[in-house]
Structure 1
Amino acid sequence: MSKGLKVAVIGGGSSYTPELVEGFIRFHQELPIKELWLVDIEAGLHKLSIVGNLAKRMVEQSGLPIDVHLTTDRREAIRDADFISTQMRVGMLEARGRDESIPLKYGVIGQETTGPGGMMKALRTIPVLLDICRDMEELAPNAWLLNFTNPAGMVTEAIHTYTNVRSVGLCNAPIGLTKWLSQTYNTPPAQIYTEFVGLNHLHWVTRVDVNGEDKLPELLNNPAGFTGKNVPQNGWNPDFLRSLGGLPSYYLKYFYMTDEMLAEQQEALLRDGHRAAVVKRVEDELFRLYSDPELNEKPKQLEQRGGAFYSEAAVNLMKSLHNGTNDIQTLNVANRGVIDFLPVEAAIEVNCVVTRNGPLPLPLTRVPAHVKGLIHAVKTYEQLAIRAAVTGDRDLALQAMVHHPLVPNVNTAIPLLNEMLEANKAYLPQFFPQG
């Protein structure tokens, strides 16, 4: 191949970037990147400089011909790119802290990707991503956009609905589950097949085949199960888990064990501060490590972040799209009839064959009847919130808030929505027109 690839990472100052760079180095033969552009905003320049210099040291250590560029000029980074990856947080950790703490005052789950907190993140994020997509339509119309920015499913659906950009949403949960199963059964990932049903952060794993053996019944008898670093480790009720018929995403604890999770959040807020404050402490330590001019590899401490392995998923997807490997990955894509009770354009999280022309979702073999209602309810909220994010329509925002299963009633939803919109005013111009 004469010309190497150009990759732009929007949110390049993220603490996750070294993991991404590690993957680019490791798989350079299959993904021959020539230019890596790390982009951030003015407020993120300090972090971009630290992470970018570590990226340059990592590349130098590898001896590979990758040029690393650090910039705040997003359009220059996007121009003629082959892949664009987004890992941004509009409003940074301060906004996440408000997403997590304000709902708790109303006795509602405070979490950054689901419930009212996730809704605010969507309202802040979707317009910015659509703006990036407009740049892509102009400057890199053939590029692939790999979106990791949460709430990943809603962002992906907005991009598919309102732009012509080729985009796929990713989450680290599927690859994390495969790694956990691989360790649990001492089996290489290639010998493991899992089937995901549902939405981003609202999925059930309805098949787990290890070396051709069905391991789902055994796993459903293990209430400890698989969880993530960013969700508390409350165990599942064994009878409930066995009867569910699918391994639930750990985010489903917010729906199935709401009272316990709320109590745990309120206790954690008093003890440690909100999750954003905990993440900030981990990030501060990481950036201290990254600043060491002798460091030229990804430090192990990065795996303490809730998104560990996310960039492995990103590199795998880029590699498969570039080479047309036709392997199976769990991705956020348009429904197109795969889940027959959801709209055609709805973003769902399912297994796909990754071709050079993009992911093709696979038909599902098992969809437990009792999970359909929750999937439908959350998708209804998501579609209302996406439209609210684009239009700034407060009526749509209120309907989205009321129809989220974690919001108990209208009399809670109205003041909660008003307070959260006001707290996010700086990032929600669509809801606060000048004049």
Structure 2
Amino acid sequence: MKLAVVGGGSTYTPELIDGFARLRDTLPIEELVLVDPAADRLDLVGGLARRIFAKQDHAGRITTTTDIDAGVADADAVLLQLRVGGQAARNKDETWPLECGCVGQETTGAGGLAKALRTVPVVLDIAERVRRANPDARIIDFTNPVGIVTRALLQAGHKAVGLCNVAIGFQRKFARLLDVNPSEVHLDHVGLNHLTWELGVRLGGPDGENVLPRLLAEHGDAIADDLRMPRQVIDRLGVVPSYYLRYFYSHDEVVRELGTKPSRAAEVAAMEKELLAMYGDPTLDEKPELLAKRGGAFYSEAAVDLAASLLGNGGSPVQVVNTYNNGTLPFLPDDAVIEVQARVGHDGATPLAVPALDPLYAGLIANVTAYEDLALEAALRGGRDRVFKALLAHPLIGQYEYAEGLTDRLIAHNREHLAWA
């Protein structure tokens, strides 16, 4: 089995490598190719990756290349973890929206749209190269904004599934609180990428006992603290929103907070510099503890599970993924991409049935889906007017004056990445 990781020079990658090494019985990789345009980073990450495999007695071969076509040739699956423009572009996404009084964040709001506009054309070009190399190859997208990018891939006919680590993070957190094995915890996870709620937490399987009320009663303070939301909000909802809902439920508070401290991108850039220095140490043969602060917790385990299921090598039959709606949420079009539990196998992902949603959640999902429609149109066709309409439609913006100012700033800060600008 051959896997390729496009964006393999990321400081995330050793987390992925560690998972591949530990879970080799689930996903028996014979060849792993790390692909990235940054040759210097590839050398550092690739060296550490080989040492991790060697320490854990993994027989697979790891190679690196800056050539996408060479890297994806004959690959059975390709994982995409790109950041077009790097941390410098992310830093802009997190700062210029604040000038208009809006949340500055790299996956939602105006910053999320900027990232989509930069990313979608690049990902579609890579996917075409994958299809030419192997029409049967599976694409696993971890590139944000996952929902929009996955929808672009699916609409172009690629065999793609989107992946996010929010659900597996909640699964592991709840398993720890309940003192059970994570495999026993199943989530009623519903929504869009970075816009989800845990409507239930079930033990033993998708139809098992819902222990969410007990979790909230016994551990509500800890859960609320992790989400940085008031306990009373969690109790009133009776569900657990993803931490990205804080941008919606506490928008003005978050804007004030973001204006008083360095951007997350600045923090990550400093962390990446330190990590890359560590990766260059020839005696390091395991992922360093600092990597846990970088983000992407449990990403490797989710990626292994998904790849194994898609390639027919086992894996969990039910996983939380991003895939076509196909009637699962009846108030959305079939070709909307949702994030829910799905049966995953060689033929792809099929969402499980979802109970009728409270309008509190359905309304916001429908609103953000409409924005994503317009965002994808802007990413595929370009144009100032399309960017403006997408921004105006976003519930975190929604005002003409804000949308005008944000449109000008988005284009000015991203001109080098926008072919039409």
TM-score using structure 1 length:
0.92
- 1:174 corresponds in structure 2 to 167
Using a 3 Å threshold, how does the CA distance of structure 1 residues 360 and 97 change in structure 2: closer, same or farther? same
Amino acid paired to 2:298: F
Amino acid paired to 2:321: L
Using a 3 Å threshold, how does the CA distance of structure 1 residues 59 and 324 change in structure 2: closer, same or farther? closer
Using a 3 Å threshold, how does the CA distance of structure 1 residues 100 and 326 change in structure 2: closer, same or farther? closer
Contact 1:40/1:72 (<8 A) preserved: yes
Contact 2:94/2:105 (<8 A) preserved: yes
1:165 is displaced (CA, Å) by: 1.4
Amino acid paired to 1:135: R
| Counterpart selection for 1:47 from 32, 41, 45 | 41
The alignment partner of 2:79 has SS state of: strand
| Counterpart selection for 1:412 from 402, 411, 414 | 402
Contact 2:368/2:394 (<8 A) preserved: yes
The superposition leaves residues 335-371 of structure 1 with CA deviations (integer Å, 9 ceiling, x where unpaired) of: 0000000011000000011112212110013522221
1:325-340 matched pairs, under 5 angstroms: 325=315, 327-340=317-330
1:26-425 matched pairs, under 5 angstroms: 26-41=22-37, 44-161=38-155, 163-210=156-203, 212-221=208-217, 222-225=220-223, 234-238=228-232, 240-268=233-261, 273-322=262-311, 323-325=313-315, 327-365=317-355, 367-425=357-415
Unaligned runs of 5+ in 2: none
Identity fraction in percent: 43
CA distance in 1, matches of 2:418, 2:152: 16
1:30 is displaced (CA, Å) by: 2.8
Contact 2:224/2:230 (<8 A) preserved: no
- 1:21 corresponds in structure 2 to 17
Which moves more between the two structures, 334-343 or 407-416?
407-416
Amino acid paired to 2:293: Q
The alignment partner of 1:365 has SS state of: coil
1:325 is displaced (CA, Å) by: 4.5
CA distance in 2, matches of 1:286, 1:107: 33
Contact 2:324/2:338 (<8 A) preserved: yes
The alignment partner of 1:207 has SS state of: strand
The superposition leaves residues 366-419 of structure 1 with CA deviations (integer Å, 9 ceiling, x where unpaired) of: 522221111111110111000110101322211100010111411111121111
1:122 is displaced (CA, Å) by: 0.3
CA distance in 2, matches of 1:217, 1:394: 47
Contact 2:103/2:255 (<8 A) preserved: yes
CA distance in 2, matches of 1:130, 1:207: 35
Amino acid paired to 2:297: A
Using a 3 Å threshold, how does the CA distance of structure 1 residues 213 and 30 change in structure 2: closer, same or farther? closer
The alignment partner of 1:65 has SS state of: coil
Amino acid paired to 1:387: E
Amino acid paired to 1:147: D
Unaligned runs of 5+ in 1: none
CA distance in 2, matches of 1:227, 1:141: 46
Amino acid paired to 1:8: A
TM-score using structure 2 length:
0.95
Runs of 4+ residues deviating >3 angstroms = 210-213, 218-221
1:218 is displaced (CA, Å) by: 3.6
CA distance in 2, matches of 1:266, 1:364: 39
Q: Give the CA RMSD over aligned residues.
A: 1.6
